[in-house]
């Protein structure tokens, strides 16, 4: 969340930012509740001070009349305090819930706009793949090659679940190792993380586990959820801690399963592996000093490029428009790989996403470092996809297909696969 003290000092900036992001946040209501909360907080503290003073007076020996008078006074204070505290707690919860809905500030260079199409393509790599034959999509390719099985996935687990089979399994493992090797080479510590996290961690990262529109599976009666990304488990790793400054930056990379409800996510653009309830992903995560987060955001993006360039996949980089940024993100870059089977004649489809969340998550999760002045300060936190296995497989199958329906393995993956072609 943002620093609520800045509601007073940066009011108009916050108001404008909410507008730019096209969010439904009633800032005036929040400001009014903040004033109410403030007044009740002071009243509560005054009463507590009186209570403490009253208790202090009773430490020594007293005659019974004096003691009784003090006890009566204490009781009266207690009754009043109980009442005021209840009022304060109510407005405090309301205010904090409201304040949490305020989005992070936005990088001044992020394009302003409401939708996908307002995002800015800032770089292209390669040319969209051309075929001398009619290109198939990955669903058809995968089923004909017997490496993807959606029908039995649906039968056993439900719609949008799938089995990966045969050389498809090896291809996914090869991709994992390929990406892992590149990321580790750049100094990231590898992790395999839990696939489950507590709701408080989800909330701190900026995911809402509740509500009809939530993308998160909650596990009934446990206070935990299935993670939608290792961003959650990597970002929760240092929650509540003060990190020594000389340990920063901390670079982590985590492999996890990702579970997403994707309610209402059906349709042509979501078919096959593109949008599924479960997939595996290798995620990068960085904790760093505030002044360095822009730099590390670029570093994550360049590692993502290295991974996709190494695979020989054409892609473009998109600077996400304000209206499409998640609340925690200060700025976000997506890599969209060319997917020949998408739409009628192929389209770019998102394969990675990297966000600089500045101190927004760190404040909610209370993750700080000790600065040179001895004071703890919030770290900046960044995340980025190294490789989302399901979507990378979409791009590989569709770009590396041959006329006979076989798939050529990208050269960089051959050493990891042990074969160079998938055939019927």
Comparing CB distances to RNA, the nearer of 227 and 413 is 227
Minimum Å gap between C-beta 200 and RNA is: 9
Q: Does 11 bind RNA (CB under 7 A)?
A: no
Residue 4 sits at φ, ψ, to 5 deg, of -65, -20
The full length of the chain comes to 424
Copy the structure tokens of residue 195: 């696939």
- 36 binding RNA? (CB under 7 A): no
Q: Using the rule CB under 7 A, which residue among 71, 121, 169, 192 binds RNA? A: 71
Binding residue (CB under 7 A) for RNA from 42, 152, 302, 423: 42
| Residue 353 annotated to the active site | yes
- Is residue 61 part of the contact set for RNA (CB under 7 A)? no
Is 350 among the residues known to form the active site? yes
Nearer CB in complex with RNA: 261/377: 377
7 binds RNA (CB under 7 A): no
Stretches 38-46, 186-194, 203-211, 293-301: which one binds RNA (CB under 7 A)?
A: 38-46
* 48 counts as binding RNA under rule CB under 7 A: yes
Binding mask 76-115 for RNA (x = CB under 7 A): -xx-------------------------------------
* Binding pattern for the stretch 335-374 against RNA, x by CB under 7 A and - elsewhere: ---------------------------------x-----x
Q: Could you check whether the bond before residue 115 is cis, i.e. omega within 30 degrees of 0?
A: no
- By the rule CB under 7 A, 126 interacts with RNA: no
Total number of residues that touch RNA (CB under 7 A): 25
Q: Does 49 bind RNA (CB under 7 A)?
A: yes
Catalytic hit among 275, 331, 363, 368: 275
- Per CB under 7 A, 310 contacts RNA: no
Q: Is 275 a catalytic residue?
A: yes
Instruction: Given the residues 260, 342, 363, 368, select the one marked as catalytic.
Output: 260
100 is catalytic: no
Among 6, 19, 75, 146, binds RNA (CB under 7 A): 75
In the set 261, 350, 370, 406, the catalytic residue is 350
**CA 402 to CA 329: how far, in whole Å?**
40
Q: Catalytic residue at 51?
A: no
Which residue's CB is nearer to RNA, number 74 or number 126? 74
- Which residues are designated catalytic? 260, 275, 350, 353, 391
Query: Which stretches of the chain bind RNA, using CB under 7 A?
Result: 5, 38, 41-42, 44-45, 48-49, 51-55, 58-59, 70-71, 74-75, 77-78, 368, 374-376
């Amino acid at each position: 969340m943002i620093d609520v003290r800045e509601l007073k000092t940066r009011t108009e900036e916050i108001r404008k930012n909410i507008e730019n992001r096209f969010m439904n946040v009633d800032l005036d209501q929040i400001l009014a509740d903040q004033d109410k909360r403030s007044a009740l907080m002071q009243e509560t503290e005054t009463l507590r001070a009186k209570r403490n003073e009253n208790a202090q007076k009773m430490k020594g020996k007293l005659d019974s009349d004096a003691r009784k008078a003090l006890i009566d006074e204490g009781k009266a204070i207690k009754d009043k305090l109980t009442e005021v505290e209840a009022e304060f707690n109510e407005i405090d919860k309301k205010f904090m819930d409201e304040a949490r809905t305020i989005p992070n500030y936005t990088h001044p260079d992020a394009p302003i706009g409401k939708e996908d199409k307002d995002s800015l393509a800032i770089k292209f790599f390669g040319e969209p793949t051309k075929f001398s034959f009619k290109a198939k999509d990955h669903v058809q390719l995968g089923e004909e090659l017997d490496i993807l099985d959606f029908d039995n996935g649906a039968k056993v687990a439900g719609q949008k679940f799938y089995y990966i089979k045969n050389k498809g399994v090896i291809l996914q493992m090869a991709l994992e190792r390929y990406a892992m090797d590149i990321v580790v080479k750049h100094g990231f510590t590898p992790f395999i993380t839990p696939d489950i996290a507590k709701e408080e961690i989800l909330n701190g990262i900026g995911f809402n586990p509740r509500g009809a529109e939530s993308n998160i599976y909650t596990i009934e009666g446990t206070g935990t959820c299935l993670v939608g990304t290792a961003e959650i488990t990597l970002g929760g790793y240092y929650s509540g801690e003060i990190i020594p400054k000389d340990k920063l930056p901390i670079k982590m990379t985590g492999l996890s399963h990702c579970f997403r409800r994707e309610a209402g996510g059906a349709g042509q653009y979501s078919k096959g592996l593109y949008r599924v309830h479960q997939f595996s992903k290798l995620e990068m995560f960085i904790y760093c000093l505030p002044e360095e987060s822009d730099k590390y955001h670029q570093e994550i993006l360049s590692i993502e490029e290295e991974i996709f360039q190494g695979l020989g996949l054409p892609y473009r980089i998109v600077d996400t428009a304000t209206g499409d940024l998640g609340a925690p993100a200060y700025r976000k870059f997506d890599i969209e790989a060319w997917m020949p089977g998408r739409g009628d004649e192929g389209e770019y489809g998102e394969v990675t996403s990297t966000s600089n969340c500045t101190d927004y998550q760190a404040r909610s999760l209370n993750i700080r470092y000790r600065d040179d002045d001895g004071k703890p300060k919030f770290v900046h936190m960044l995340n980025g996809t190294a490789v989302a296995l399901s979507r990378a497989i979409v791009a590989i199958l569709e770009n590396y297909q041959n006329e006979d329906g076989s798939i050529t393995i990208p050269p960089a993956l051959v050493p990891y696969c042990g074969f160079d072609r998938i055939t019927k």
